[in-house]
Structure 1
């Protein structure tokens, strides 16, 4: 399933220019073209700054990791004045906070402080207070709140299957980006990567949409996808393939390379960018072991006209 998203296209265009600027040796003509593109529209500049900020932050992390350890020196005999000690501590704390506030984990700080989260490659099942069972894929984070007559979950990132406990008096809702899923008691899967959301219904009836005008009813074996507030039509889905991750497999049948990249990000914990028109046109039909993301990257490079590189820790580029 797919849905065109102008904001995603803008982000990709900005990322391509950041990679061209920082990962190679751009010519004067290329630099001028990048500056012209940034000046065309404030949205271009905002997208470029966001992509460049991530690039520079990841570079700072690598520089910190590669820096040699400071030599150990014996303590001075004289005790430093308390004011100087406090000043040094404050400076160190400011440096740490400066990096921390600039460098955000994938999905933002909301993911880091989520009620429930899994590590990349980890799978876990939990039971909520109402008896609903949630099966979480890797790199998944969610918040939940049950109060009064409401049961609500916010999927911050990742992928999860919800087996909702039936309670007609308290509808169960899942929010993922701009999409809202509403049920009483059923089983469905929701995945989120940024503002891209997909839904597959395994059992029961689900109402889902990005706004009242977009809401549609989905039955078992049906699914939809959204990019921001732009939703696709309801389409048939193969449930066994969509939920294959729970059995240790990734199954793709003519899937977009971006869909594969989203899964690889959940497995590896890296940000995975698909850049360039050639890479975006590629489709994948294959079965992989989801415990070996490196093999999936290698397979993509061996079988498709794309190159996989890791210019910085935590960032993989397919182009």
Structure 2
């Protein structure tokens, strides 16, 4: 019946020459029919597209116009220059600025231009640490953005001699590769802005929600427009009610080194880190998650009528609408609050309320609360971008973090090496590069034996 009503509505709208003034598309415009557009995909697409639009709005005016023409209308840099009456070199410079600005705006929650995003690591040895100065980082990111903008100038990519130069620059430093990959990911992600192109044939099909504007012959079709809007409202209400009341319990799991993003029917989003298992159940009355093991970031839609409850062993976390992360290791639960208020209750203790920048360690009947800086919280959320952010942690702690992600395990063989201080940003799934950095930066012995990378102090 719903399909029949939908088809009738579309047919009437087309014959009445209804003009669409508001279009929301799936971010990849892949769904060929409404029937295949699940609520989870629709929510995820809308959320992603809205995020990209907000990021676009943050760009300076000229830079935004260049990015819009390049990413939404799909013009080449040469065509953008002709359209705007500027040189191609100017377009390339604006693309470079846009790449950096989008990377900042699209960074993981809490990871902005300061803090973790402004502290990629390099193999600079200083007082026993691997660290990166902000000035050096800015120079590296600016160069990475220039490379991406230059490559974007031609569909064929860089000329061979320039590709060789780029490869040499990337090989020169881990920090170069980290900056390039982060910015390149943001620029490619902006391709989804093409879903905003109202002239796209995909958007003209009934695979998205349409806002109705005016009728070509209002005196004849005004009544029809009212009926159409009423049918749309009824369909939307029926579909939403059905999604909210009939979603069964779902199990999600990631393997070692994997991440997964999950969109729930209430509008909440969960991001699972490596080796994580959880179960969700969202109904018209309740919203619950059981975190069996691992780590997850929660972006919870506000709903005062349905508190969102997470069960993690003997601990219970309750929120209405907020952003926070949970890490469960056995019966220990670590909580970090990015926004809003979070209630943590252990099996034998009283509830504890956490607010922004609060962190807590719940273990049995105790909940230990501490205040963190924005930089410290950003570091703890680096995994959302596949990064490990260390701020003066011991090599032993850094190895423990790396060992959560990959098959290859770091083994620190002596106390002197284990106590070395480490700072910087590293690829969580590239422990081999980290080991090479330990050898180059500290002169440590590094040996690979099967699935282990053994690290020890040099023999004196």
- Which bin holds the TM-score, normalised by the shorter protein? 0.5 to 0.7
Evaluate the alpha carbon distance shift between residue 259 and residue 183 of structure 1 in structure 2; reply closer, same or farther with a 3 A threshold: farther
Q: Which residue matches 1:242? A: 380
CA offset at residue 161 of structure 1?
A: 0.9
Counterpart residue number, 1:41: none
Relative distance call for 1:318 and 1:250 in structure 2 (3 A) is: same
Query: Where does the alignment leave 5 or more consecutive residues of structure 2 unmatched?
Result: 1-249
Q: Partner residue of 2:278?
A: 142
C-alpha distance in 1 between matches for 2:400 and 2:383 = 13
Could you tell me whether the CA contact under 8 Å between 1:139 and 1:269 is conserved in 2?
no
Q: Secondary structure at the match of 1:263?
A: helix
1:124 aligns with 2:260: yes
Instruction: List per-residue Cα deviations over 1:85-119 (Å, max 9, x = no partner).
Output: xxxxxxxxxxxxxxxxxxxxxxxxxxxxx810122
Deviates more, 1:146-155 or 1:240-249: 146-155
2:266 equivalent to 1:266: no
Equivalent position to 1:255, from 371, 377, 393: 393
Residue pair 1:193, 1:262 contacting (<8 A) in 2 also: no
The separation in 2 between residues aligned to 1:139 and 1:290, in whole angstroms, is 13
How far apart are 1:194 and its partner, in Å?
Answer: 2.8
CA distance in 1, matches of 2:285, 2:417: 47
Task: Give the number of the structure whose residues are more often helix, by fraction.
Answer: 2
Partner of 1:284: 422
CA distance in 1, matches of 2:321, 2:384: 21
Q: Distance in 2 between matches of 1:144 and 1:199?
A: 19
2:312 is the counterpart of 1:176: yes
Contact 2:327 2:333 in 1 (8 A): yes
Distance change (3 Å), C-alpha of 1:273 and 1:179: farther
Is contact 2:348-2:365 (8 Å) kept?
Answer: no
Q: 1:181 to 1:120 in 2, by over 3 A?
A: same
8 A contact 1:121–1:139 mirrored in 2: yes
Q: How many pairs were matched up? A: 205
Deviation at 1:302, TM superposition (A): 7.0
Superposition TM-score, scaled by structure 1 size:
0.53
Structure-to-structure mapping, 1:2-151, within 5 angstroms: 115-147=251-283, 149-151=285-287
Given that 2:314 and 2:364 are in contact with CA atoms closer than 8 Å, whether structure 1 keeps it comes out as yes
User: For each residue in 1:111-157, what CA deviation from the matched residue of structure 2 results, as whole angstroms up to 9, or x when unmatched?
Assistant: xxx81012222222111232210112222221122356332212222
Partner of 1:205: 341
Distance (Å, rounded) in 2 between the aligned partners of 1:213 and 1:174: 17
Cα pair 2:343 2:352 within 8 Å, conserved: yes
1:185 partner SS: coil
CA change 1:171–1:272 in 2 (3 A) is farther
For 2:291, the equivalent position in structure 1 comes to 155
Separation (CA, whole Å) in 2 of partners of 1:156 and 1:132: 19
Instruction: Evaluate the alpha carbon distance shift between residue 292 and residue 164 of structure 1 in structure 2; reply closer, same or farther with a 3 A threshold.
Output: same
SS at match of 1:220: coil
Secondary structure in structure 2 of the residue aligned to 1:233: strand
Shift in Å, 1:251 = 0.9
What are the superposed Cα offsets for residues 57-108 of structure 1, whole Å, 9 maximum, x if unpaired? Answer: xxxxxxxxxxxxxxxxxxxxxxxxxxxxxxxxxxxxxxxxxxxxxxxxxxxx
Q: 1:258 to 1:142 in 2, by over 3 A?
A: farther
The structure richer in strand per residue is 1
Measure how far apart 1:212 and its partner are: 5.6
Q: Would the aligned equivalents of 2:349 and 2:366 in 1 still touch at CA under 8 Å?
A: no
Deviation string for 1:204-256 (max 9, x for gaps)? 11111424635321111221123455433322143322212222321111335
For the residue of structure 2 that corresponds to 1:154, the secondary structure is strand
Q: 1:285 to 1:185 in 2, by over 3 A?
A: same
Gaps of 5+ in 1: 1-113
